[in-house]
Amino acid sequence: MDRKALYNLEYGVFLVSSRAGDAINACITNTCIQAAASPVRLAISCISGNYTPELIRESGLFTVSVLDTTADFELIRRFGMQSGRTVDKFAGFDYALDANGLPYLKDKANAVFSCKVTSAMELGSHTLFVGEVLDAAVLGSAPSLTYAKYQSDVKPRPRPKAEERPIIGWKCKICGYVYEGAVLPADFLCPLCAHPAEDFEPIYG
Ligand SMILES: Cc1cc2nc3c(=O)[nH]c(=O)nc-3n(C[C@H](O)[C@H](O)[C@H](O)COP(=O)(O)O)c2cc1C
């Protein structure tokens, strides 16, 4: 199997939230589809061991906020790169509550769906939840954020390795004097300690 074929599947980006008792939590997913039209049902796929699916199993409820193109990396980092088991992801965060008391995004999302679980299928790594949509609302007009757009425009690019970055200066290894400029003349002598160009090392941008 060529697993790269999977990269050619298209997705959106969502905030899936739940509540059980007083505990609220949410995570980012890239998996949500309309699975049926009558009654309207959504399907979402959650990493089985995560905290959000634990709350969904307990309450039988989940709410999906559809992220739009105004969503930023800070939002995705807050909900998608740490677990509600160790941090309160909603602390200091402005959110709204649906009729079941589940949190959803007040902004940076263009739609919200409140769902009641009708079936859950354990698939190994993930749990597939199918939910009947109890309520839905359009929240904004910005286009939905696609997973491809998240990868290309929202996710910060890894900083290139030092050697791949441009040289912006040279530092004297003997005294620390800094020469500003990409090219150090071959006959350059350090104005502080008089050591030659060979004793300088590059400073990368
Ligand atoms: C862009 C993106 C897409 C993600 N897609 C999924 C997904 O489809 N299903 C899932 O369970 N987790 C997905 N995650 C990972 C969860 O959001 C992450 O594991 C989160 O920390 C779980 O938090 P929790 O333990 O509080 O539920 C995704 C994360 C990111 C950043």
Look at residues 154, 176, 195 and tell me which one is the last residue of a structural domain. 154
Look at residues 137, 154, 171 and tell me which one is the last residue of a structural domain. 154
Instruction: Quickly list DSSP for 158-191.
Output: PPPPGGGSPEEEEEETTT--EEESS---TT-B-T
Q: Which CATH number fits the domain that encloses residue 172?
A: 2.20.28.10
Ligand 1 atom closest to the Cα of residue 81 is 21
Distance CA 49, CA 46 (A): 8
- The pTM is what? 0.83
Please tell me the distance between residue 50's alpha carbon and the centre of ligand 1 in angstroms.
Answer: 8
> Ligand 1: which residue has its CA nearest to atom 8?
29
Please tell me the distance between residue 62's alpha carbon and the centre of ligand 1 in angstroms.
Answer: 14
Query: Reduced to 3 states, what is the DSSP secondary structure of residue 132?
Result: strand
> Is residue 81 domain-shared with residue 135, that is, in the same domain?
yes
Say if CB 114 and CB 102 are below 8 A apart. yes
Say if CB 182 and CB 166 are below 8 A apart. yes
pLDDT in tens, 56-94: 999 999 999 999 999 999 999 999 999 999 999 999 999
pLDDT in tens, 108-162: 999 999 999 999 999 999 999 999 999 999 999 999 999 999 999 999 988 888 7
Total structural domains in the chain?
Answer: 2
